[in-house]
Chains A and B, each alone.
Chain A
Amino acid sequence: MSAALQRLQHELQRTILSGVTNDALVCGTDESDRAARLGIYVYAYRSRLHDALVDNFPMLQVHLGSDEFAMLARGYIDVQPSRNYSIRTFGSNWSEWLKTQRPDEPWLSELAAFEWALGCAFDAPNEPPLSCDALSRLAVETWPTLTFRFAPCVRHLTLETNAPQLYDCAARGISAVGRHEGASVEWLIWRQSLRTHYRSLSPIEALALTSLLAGRTFANACERLLYHCSADDVPTRAAACLKRWLADGLIVGLGLSGSD
């Protein structure tokens, strides 16, 4: 067992994470040389994770400004060491953390959630979309127990601020846009071919999508639509949703409830 090596690695990692250099760990000509050498790693750690956040939340940085973004990033880096082999995922909890730090500015965590969803949609694994033909070939009796598998790029968000508008304005270089809250709006984010898209959802489409994303059956999703439309309208509205999702390449597989 590599006990000495293990001790050394934990000590050095503690130094890097805390920023408090333990210069007895390393060689050097004097105390300041040893501290400077360790300081290179301490600085690089924070710098690299900060850059990963900038890469994944560029429009949040535009809205906050570099200094405030960096200050918040430092706080997040201090409490959230990366635990994934890819630095790309370091920002996965950034939105939730911002919510706790700035509860009076919900636009901030929602813009982070929105940018994160866009990033996930951008490079999520590929899966070939299902064609309309695949659905039209299904026997009528299978529809009630039908379940749908959505593409890995599909993201659904409920937002109470105008975060998507803030994103859009920053991306277009428009700075004069107000931040406001309102009734919650459901958003769909996805990628088709290589392009990332987003759009708001009607209450009916949102309800159908959340039901099916949660693995509910088609019959169950239709029952839930009765909250928003008459029984006569349900088949038409459900069919319209499916048609659009298929056209957008959101559905990649089908299943039957109760079977593998």
Chain B
Amino acid sequence: MTSSPPIADLGFGLGLRPKHYEALLGEHAGAVDWLEAITENYLGLGGKPLHYLERLREKYPIVLHGVSLSIGSTDALDERYLRHLRAFADWLEPAWISDHLCWTGVGGVNLHDLLPLPYTEEALAHVADRILRVQELLGRRILIENVSSYVAFPQSEMREHEFLSELAVRSDCFVLLDVNNVYVSSVNHGFDPREYIAALPANRIAQIHLAGHSRQGKYLIDTHDAPVSEPVWALYRDTVARFGSVPTMIERDANIPALDELLVELDRARTITREVLVDAA
């Protein structure tokens, strides 16, 4: 399963949301380099969602980002979902497919949340095996994203970045590094986010997510309902310094502003990357 080509550096993208369909096709056509579509918003559907996805893929590279793979669940892999995803990907030809380092339910239930795992050797072996199987079924290597978390488990035997790094090596997958998630979890669990990022294997980092979060008492919540925060921008600068130019995009899922506003945020990511790369040259 190492026959897939290396991940391309697509540049700077956005999470595709229906509110921006027309602007991306019309007045702002070409304003972003690529788009990330939520897999479950299109899988098995037709009508307007598919109509716009078809039109947009003529203008932009598209990547698929799933929320229901549940790679960490102890339920059997949902092969029906994977068969649909394979057929959909064969048709859409996304630049890549990603999902999350999490589980979403057991006993056939889907909690529609990205639940964290205990970082144990048992869990590592379990998830690595499943990623290998998924990659076999999909016929390509996938990207696995670190999630924001609010709980940690007493059973954990290693730190999250150690688990993620080892997982990428064992299963020969890539990492979608969500910088906001690293920051949110670092505040919630009291670790150093720079140490986390510095420890990840550079040759596995294939995509970066940026997003906003909100505060709830002493915890940070990954709400995707606000602009990227200053501490996350600072961490992004460190991330680019560590990994160089990596395809980067902004996610916004609530309080979604007009496209112009997100394009200004995305320009900041471009500027940071340019500045860091110039400094490094």
Give me the interface of A with B, judged by CB distance under 8 Å.
Answer: 2, 4-6, 8-10, 12-13, 16-17, 25-28, 34, 36-38, 40-41, 44-45, 48-49, 52, 81-88, 90, 121-127, 152-153, 191, 194
Q: B151 touching A5 by the CB < 8 A rule?
A: no
* CB neighbours of A12 from chain B (8 A): 115
Distance (Å) between the CB of A208 and the closest chain B CB? Answer: 25
Q: Which residues of A contact B72 (CB under 8 A)?
A: 5
Most chain B beta carbons < 10 A, residue from A12, A85, A122:
A85
**Contact across chains for B74 and A5 when beta carbons are under 8 A apart:** yes
On whether A40 and B150 interact (CB within 8 A), knowing A4-B155, A6-B106, A85-B81, the answer reads yes
What per-residue 1/0 map shows which CB atoms of B69-105 lie under 8 Å from chain A?
A: 0001110001001000000000000000000000101
Asked if B117 is at the interface of the complex by the 8 Å CB criterion, the answer is yes
Known: A5-B126, A85-B68, A85-B81. A48 touches B113 (CB 8 A): yes
Q: Mark B201-237, 1 if CB is under 8 A from A, else 0.
A: 0000000000000001101010000000000000000
B108 to chain A, nearest CB (A): 5
Least CB distance from A29 to B in Å reads 10
Residue of B nearest to A9 (CB): B106
> With A41-B115, A84-B110 in contact, is A191–B153 under 8 Å at CB?
no
| Option from B68, B118, B216 in Cβ contact (under 8 Å) with A8 | B118
Assembly CA distance A13 to B106 (angstroms) = 7
A16-B111, A36-B217, A85-B40 are contacts. A4–B120 as well, Cβ < 8 Å?
Answer: yes
Shortest Cβ-Cβ A-B pairs, 5 listed: A126-B46, A85-B68, A6-B74, A26-B151, A123-B47
Q: Output the nearest chain A residue to B51 by Cβ-Cβ distance.
A: A194
Q: Distance (Å) between the CB of A101 and the closest chain B CB?
A: 22
What are the residues of chain A within 8 A of B188 when measuring CB–CB?
Answer: 37
Interface of B is mostly: loop
Minimum Cβ distance to chain B for residue A115 (Å): 16
Quick one: CB contact mask for B100-140 with A, threshold 8 Å, 1 for yes?
A: 00010111111111010110101101100000000000000
Known: A82-B112, A86-B43. A5 touches B120 (CB 8 A): yes
Q: Indicate whether B257 reaches chain A with its CB closer than 8 angstroms.
A: no
Q: Does B45 contact A (CB under 8 A)?
A: yes
Could you tell me the distance between the alpha carbons of A181 and B152 in the complex, rounded to whole angstroms? 54
Interface presence of B6 (CB below 8 A): no
- Chain A residues lying within 8 Å of B219, measured Cβ to Cβ, are 36-37, 40
Distance between A46 CB and nearest chain B CB, rounded to angstroms: 10
Report how far A6 CA is from B51 CA in the complex, Å.
40
Chain A residues whose C-beta falls within 8 Å of the C-beta of B45 in the assembled complex: 123-125
B74 & A41 in contact (Cβ 8 Å cutoff) = no
Q: Contact: A25 with B110, CB < 8 Å?
A: no
A contacts with B: majority SS: helix
Chain B residues whose C-beta falls within 8 Å of the C-beta of A34 in the assembled complex: 151
Complex: how many Å from CA A38 to CA B150? Answer: 7
Name 6 interchain pairs, CB-CB below 8 A, sorted by A.
A5-B117, A25-B153, A37-B219, A49-B112, A87-B112, A125-B45
Decide if B154 is an interface residue (CB 8 Å cutoff). Answer: yes
Other-chain contact of A13, B109, B120, B151 (Cβ < 8 Å): B109
A121–B154 Cα distance when bound, in Å, is: 48
Contact of B107 among A13, A28, A126 (CB under 8 A): A13
A127–B45 CA distance with the chains assembled, in angstroms: 11
A residues within 8 A CB of B103? Answer: 9
B118: chain A residues within 8 A (beta carbon): 5, 8
Determine if A124 and B46 form an interchain contact, defined as CB atoms under 8 angstroms apart: yes
State whether A13 touches B111 (Cβ < 8 A). Answer: yes
Contact for A194 among B47, B106, B150, CB less than 8 A = B47
- Specify which of A40, A48, A86 is in contact with B216 (CB 8 Å cutoff): A40
In Å, the complex CA distance between A124 and B44 comes to: 8
Minimum CB–CB distance for A21 against chain B, Å: 10
